[in-house]
Amino acid sequence: MSTPTPTPTPSPTPQTATARIHNIGYRHYDGPRLGIPYARLSLFTHSLRGAYGLGRSARSKILPFALAAIMAVPALVMVAVAVTVGMNSLPIGYTEYALFMQPIIGLYLALAGPQLVSLDQRYHTLPLYFSRPLEHADYVRAKAAALAAALFVFTAVPVVLLYIGALLAKLSPADETLGFGKGLLFSAVFSVLHAAIVLLIASLTPRRGFGVAAIIGALTVPYFAVTSVQFVVAEQGSGSLDSVGWLAMLSPGSLLDGFQGALLGGTTEFPHQYAPSGAMGAGYLAVIAGVTAVCYVLLLRRYRKAGL
Amino acid sequence: MGGTSVCRVSVIATESLSKRYPRVTALDRLTVDIGPGVTGLVGANGAGKSTLIKILLGLAPASEGSAAVLGKDTAREGAAIREQVGYMPEHDCLPPDVSATEFVVHMARMSGLPSTAARERTADTLRHVGLYEERYRPMGGYSTGMKQRVKLAQALVHDPKLVLLDEPTNGLDPAGRDEMLGLIRRVHTDFGISVLVTSHLLGELERTSDHIVVIDGGKLLKSQSTRSFTQTTTTLLIEVTDSDAHPDGADALRTALTAAGVTPVAEPDSTPGAARLVVVEADEERVYDTVRDTVADLGLGMVRMEQRRHRIAEVFQENRTEAAS
Q: How far is CA B169 from CA A266, B145, B165, B181, in A?
A: 63, 9, 10, 8
Interatomic CA distance for residues A21 and A7, integer angstroms: 8
> What's the pLDDT score for residue B44?
82
Mean pLDDT across A34-60: 92
Residue B167 to residue B53: CA distance in whole angstroms: 12
Together in a domain, B106 and B196: yes
**A:B CB pairs within 8 Å:** 111
C-alpha dist (Å) from residue B222 to B33, B34, B41, B218, B318 = 12, 12, 10, 12, 11
Asked whether residue B168 falls in the same domain as residue B100, the answer is: yes
* CATH number assigned to the domain comprising residue B148: 3.40.50.300
A278 at B interface, C-beta within 8 A: no
Rounded to two decimals, the ipTM of the complex is 0.84
Number of neighbours of residue B6 by Cβ within 10 angstroms: 6
The CA distance from B116 to A116, in Å, is 25
Helix (H) or strand (E) segment spanning residue B12 = strand B12-20
Q: Same domain, yes or no, for B171 and B246? A: no
Q: Is residue A16 part of a domain?
A: no
B95·A119 Cβ contact <8 A: yes
Q: Could you give the strand order of the β-sheet that contains B25-34, starting from the edge strand earlier in sequence?
A: B25-34, B12-20, B64-69, B72-73
Angle between helices B115-128 and B100-110 (to 10 degrees): 130
- DSSP3 helix / strand / coil % (chain A, rounded to 5): 70, 0, 30
When the pLDDT of each residue in chain A is averaged and rounded to a whole number, the result is 89
Contacts 24+ apart (CB under 8 A), A183-187: A183/A93, A183/A94, A183/A95, A183/A97, A183/A156, A183/A159, A184/A94, A184/A156, A184/A159, A185/A264, A186/A94, A186/A95, A186/A98, A186/A256, A186/A259, A186/A260, A186/A264, A186/A266, A187/A98, A187/A152, A187/A155, A187/A156, A187/A159
- String of b and e for A144-176 (b: at least 16 CB within 10 Å)? bbbbbbbbbebbbebbbbbbebbeebebeeeeb
Inside any domain, residue A258? yes
Q: Domain range spanning residue B273?
A: 232-309
Domain-ending residue, one of B179, B213, B229: B229
Q: Which of A5, A23, A29, A117 to mutate to test the interface with B (most CBs of B within 10 A)?
A: A29
Assess if residue B100 is contained within a domain.
Answer: yes
**Sign for the pseudo-dihedral over CA of B265, B269, B270, B274:** negative
Encoded amino acid at A228, one letter: S
Inside any domain, residue B314: no
Distance, in Å, from the CA atom of B148 to the CA atom of B185, rounded to the nearest integer, reads: 15
CA distances from B165 to A215, A291, B199, B265 (A): 38, 42, 9, 37
pLDDT at A280 over 60: yes
User: Is there a contact between A28 and B190 if contact means CB atoms under 8 Å apart?
Assistant: no
User: Per mean pLDDT, which range of A82-91, A275-284, B250-259, B261-270 is the poorest?
Assistant: B261-270
Q: Helix %, strand %, coil % for chain B, to 5? A: 40, 25, 35
- B35 with B100, same domain: the answer is yes
- Residue A8 in any domain: the answer is no
Residue that finishes a domain, picked among B204, B229, B254:
B229
Interchain pair A26, B94: CB under 8 A: no
Q: What is the pLDDT of residue A48?
A: 96
User: pLDDT band at residue B323, thresholds of 50, 70 and 90?
Assistant: low
- Rounded to the nearest 10°, the torsion over CA A307, A108, A190, A216 is -80
Instruction: Tell me the CATH number at B299.
Output: 3.30.70.100
In this structure, the answer to whether residues B77 and B176 fall within a common structural domain is: yes
The answer to whether position B1 is within a domain reads no
Instruction: Assess B102–A contact: CB distance below 8 Å, yes or no.
Output: yes
Asked if residue B251 and residue B169 are part of one domain, the reply reads no
- Mutate: best of A22, A26, A143, partner B, most B CBs <10 A: A26
Q: Is residue B5 part of a domain?
A: no
Dist. CA A230–CA A220, nearest whole Å: 15
Say yes or no: B48 and B180 in one domain.
Answer: yes
In a domain, A21, yes or no: no
Alpha-carbon distances, residue A290 vs A173, A178, B82, B95, B259 (angstroms): 35, 27, 35, 35, 90
- Determine which helix (DSSP H) or strand (DSSP E) holds B257, and give its type and residue range: helix B249-259
Evaluate if residue A2 carries a pLDDT over 60.
no
CB contact (8 A) between residue A60 and residue B97? yes
Query: Is the distance from CB of B236 to CB of B291 less than 8 angstroms?
Result: yes
Beginning with the edge strand found earlier in the chain, give each strand of the sheet holding B277-281 in spatial order: B277-281, B232-240, B302-309
A7 inside 8 A of chain B by CB: no
Residues in chain B closer than 8 A to A43 (CB atoms): 110
B118-147 pLDDT, tens per residue? 999 999 999 999 999 999 999 999 999 999
Q: Is residue B292 part of a domain?
A: yes
Please determine, for residue B8, whether its predicted confidence score (pLDDT) is greater than 70: no
Check whether residue B202 and residue B248 sit in a common domain.
no
- Coil, strand or helix at B68: strand
Query: What tens digit of pLDDT does each residue of A177-214 get?
Result: 999 999 999 999 999 999 999 999 999 999 989 999 99
CA atoms within 13 A on the CB side of A61: 6
Do B98 and B243 belong to one domain?
no
Q: Do B112 and A133 touch (CB under 8 A)?
A: yes
Q: Which residue of A has its CA nearest to B157?
A: A29
Q: Are B102 and B122 in contact (CB under 8 A)?
A: no
Nearest to B12 by CA among B167, B164, B225, B217: B164
Mean pLDDT of A127-149: 95
Q: What is the pLDDT, as a whole number, of residue B12? A: 95
| Cβ–Cβ < 8 Å for B268, B317 | no
Split into its structural domains, chain B has a count of 2
Q: Is residue B141 part of a domain?
A: yes
Q: What angle do CA A194, A199, A202 make, to 5 degrees?
A: 125
Q: pLDDT tens digit string along B150-195?
A: 999 999 999 999 999 999 998 899 899 999 999 999 999 999 999 9
Residues B29 and B120 both lie in one domain: yes
What is the longest distance spanned by two Cα atoms in chain A?
A: 93
Rounded Cα gap, residues A261 and A283, in angstroms = 13
Question: For residues A100 and A92, what is the distance between their CA atoms, to the nearest angstrom?
Answer: 9
Residues B168 and B242 in one domain: no
- Residue to mutate among A45, A54, A60, A128, with most B CBs inside 10 A, is A128
Distance (Å, whole) CA B53 – CA B33: 15
Q: Kindly state whether residues B138 and B110 are assigned to the same domain.
A: yes
Nearest CA among A167, A18, A161, A183 for reference residue A95: A183
Least confident interval from A63-72, A242-251, B65-74, B221-230: B221-230
pLDDT band at A254 (very low <50, low <70, confident <90, very high): very high
Cα of B25 vs its chain's centroid, Å:
26
Range of the domain at A256: 35-304
Q: Report d(CA B147, CA B135) in Å as an integer.
A: 10
What Cα–Cα distance (Å) separates residue B260 from each residue in A137, B249, B257, B266? 73, 16, 5, 17
B29 within domain boundaries: yes
Domain boundary among B229, B261, B276: B229
B211-216, strands of its sheet edge to edge: B85-88, B162-165, B194-199, B38-42, B211-216, B219-225
Q: pLDDT-based confidence at A62, cuts 50/70/90?
A: very high
Give domain status of residue B124, yes or no.
yes
pLDDT at B322: 55
Q: How many CB atoms sit inside 10 A of residue A194's CB? A: 28
Structural domain total, chain A: 1
